[in-house]
Amino acid sequence: MAMAVAIRRAGSTASMRRITAGVGLRSMSSWWRSVEPAPKDPILGVTEAFLADPSPDKVNVGVGAYRDDNGKPVVLDCVREAERRIAGASYMEYLPMGGSVKMVEETLKLAYGDNSEFIKDKRIAAIQSLSGTGACRIFADFQKRFRPESQIYIPVPTWSNHHNIWRDAQVPQKTYHYYHPETKGLNFSALMDDVKDAPNGSVFLLHACAHNPTGVDPTEEQWREISQLFKVKGHFAFFDMAYQGFASGDPERDAKSIRIFLEDGHQIGISQSYAKNMGLYGQRVGCLSVLCEEEKQAVAVKSQLQQLARPMYSNPPLHGALIVSTILGDPELKSLWLKEVKGMADRIIGMRSELRENLEKIGSPLSWEHITKQIGMFCYSGLTPEQVDRMTKEYHIYMTRNGRISMAGVTTGNVGYLANAIHAVTTTDSS
C-alpha cells in the first residue's frame, strides 16, 4: 500500500525504478538479519563436533547408531538381499498419503502381535511415518488438533527431541519422575505418584523398551501396575518404540509393555521405527498407529492423520518401505533379520560387560554395576556435564553432556581407552 502511494507520487518510470529497486534491496537483506544461530542439537551436534576433530584417537559414543566391532556402520544382510530383489523393479510412483499398506500391515504385527484381534477387526488407524520422529510429530499434531486442551506428560529424562516435537506442535508439556540418580535405576514410586496425581484422562509418553537415554525399563510386574493405574485414571498411553529388539534381542519380548496395555483394554498410540532395528537410519521408515474402538472410527482417524501429513510432506518415501515389506513379507528374510537384530543386541550386551570389567580392573573405587543392569543402546553413566567435557577435551571421546554413552559405538578396540578415560575424569581433577 505505502509502496503504491510512493510510486503514484513519484510519477516517472525512472523514479519508479529507483523506488522499487530500493525496496527490493531492503527486503532482500532485512527481515532475517536479526536471526541468531540456533543452538546446537544436543545429540546430532556431538556428531558434528566428532567429525571436525582431526585426532586419530577420537571415539564417537554420542549418537545412537549401531557400529560393528571395527566401529563401522552396518548394512544388515537381510537389507542387502531385499535391495537386490528390489533393484530394477518399476517402483518410482508416489505412495498413497498413508504410505505403503504392506509395510504398515507388517509393522503393526510387530507391535500388536501376529494374530492380533485389533488388526483382524481393522481397529487400528495407521500410517507410514518418517521414522519415529515423524510418528511422534504427527501424533503430537493430532493431539493438538483433536484434544487442544490436553498436555503431554514426558519422563525425566527423555530423548531430547521429544521436547522439541511437542513444543513445535504447541502441546504444553508436563514431566513425570522416571530415573533415580542415586540408584541409577527406575524411580518407580515417584513415577506412580505422578501418574496418580495427573488429572484423569491425561496423555502420557512412555518408552516401550530400551529407554533413551537411561537404558532403564520397568519390570514386567511394574508395567502391569502402571497399566492398572492408567486404567483407574483413564490416562492415554502413547508408546515410543524406537528400539524394538534392542533391549532383549527379541522384538516379541520387547513389545511386552504394549501387550500388557492391550490385554488391559487400553486404547493406545504407538510410534515405531526401523532406524535402529533394521539399520535403516537414513531411510526414515516408521509407523504411527492409534488403536480405535471400531473400524469406522479407525477409518476416520486414519484420514485425519493423512491430512496432517499431506501439507507437511505429502506422502512418505518409498525405498525404505519397500525394503521393510520385502524383509518382513518373506519368512526366510524375516528370520535372517531376527538373527541379525539379536546379533546387534548381543554385541552391545557383551560390550557392557567389558566396559564394566575394564573399570573394575583399573581399580575404579566407584560402582559400575549399572552399566550391565541397564539395557538397550545406551548406558546412562552418571558422568556429570563437566566430566563429559573433560572426556572430549582431554581424550577426544564424544558423548552427550547428560552422561549418556551409546554402547553401540563401543568396540573391543576402544573399550579399554574409554574405561581409562572414565576412570580418569571420575577420580582426578581437571588437568
Give the contact letters, 198-227, x = binds to ligand LMR (CB under 6 A), - = no: --------------x---------------
The least CB distance from residue 264 to ligand LMR, in Å, is 29
Q: Residue 314 has which C-alpha cell?
A: 505429502
Residue 50 is a binding residue for ligand LMR (CB under 6 A): no
Q: Residue 393 has which C-alpha cell?
A: 577435551
Beta carbons within 10 angstroms of residue 339's beta carbon? 13
- Classify residue 244 as left (phi > 0), alpha (psi -120 to 50) or beta: beta
Give 40 or 361: the residue with its C-beta nearer to ligand LMR: 40
Q: Which residues contact 207 (CB under 8 A, 6 or more apart)?
A: 155, 158, 217, 239, 240, 241, 242
Q: Residue 242 has which C-alpha cell?
A: 524406537
Residue 371 is a binding residue for ligand LMR (CB under 6 A): no
Give 321 or 408: the residue with its C-beta nearer to ligand LMR: 408
Let me know if 189 is exposed, middle or buried by CB neighbors in 10 A (0-12, 13-18, 19+).
Answer: exposed
The least CB distance from residue 43 to ligand LMR, in Å, is 4
Residue 43 is a binding residue for ligand LMR (CB under 6 A): yes
Q: Which residues contact 379 (CB under 8 A, 6 or more apart)?
A: 215, 352, 355, 370, 371, 404, 405, 407
The least CB distance from residue 300 to ligand LMR, in Å, is 31
Give 321 or 405: the residue with its C-beta nearer to ligand LMR: 405
The least CB distance from residue 373 to ligand LMR, in Å, is 20
The least CB distance from residue 63 to ligand LMR, in Å, is 4
Q: Which residues contact 165 (CB under 8 A, 6 or more apart)?
A: 133, 136, 137, 140
Residue 345 is a binding residue for ligand LMR (CB under 6 A): no
C-alpha span between 275 and 191 (Å, rounded): 29
C-alpha span between 31 and 29 (Å, rounded): 7
User: According to CB under 6 A, which residues from 51 to 110 bind ligand LMR?
Assistant: 63-64
Known catalytic residues?
159, 240, 276
Selected binder of ligand LMR within 50, 66, 118, 159 (CB under 6 A):
159
Give 157 or 269: the residue with its C-beta nearer to ligand LMR: 157
Give 43 or 130: the residue with its C-beta nearer to ligand LMR: 43
Residue 274 is a binding residue for ligand LMR (CB under 6 A): no
Residue 47 is a binding residue for ligand LMR (CB under 6 A): no
Angle between helices 101-112 and 319-328 (to 10 degrees): 50
The residues that touch ligand LMR, with contacts defined as CB under 6 A, are: 43, 63-64, 159, 161, 212
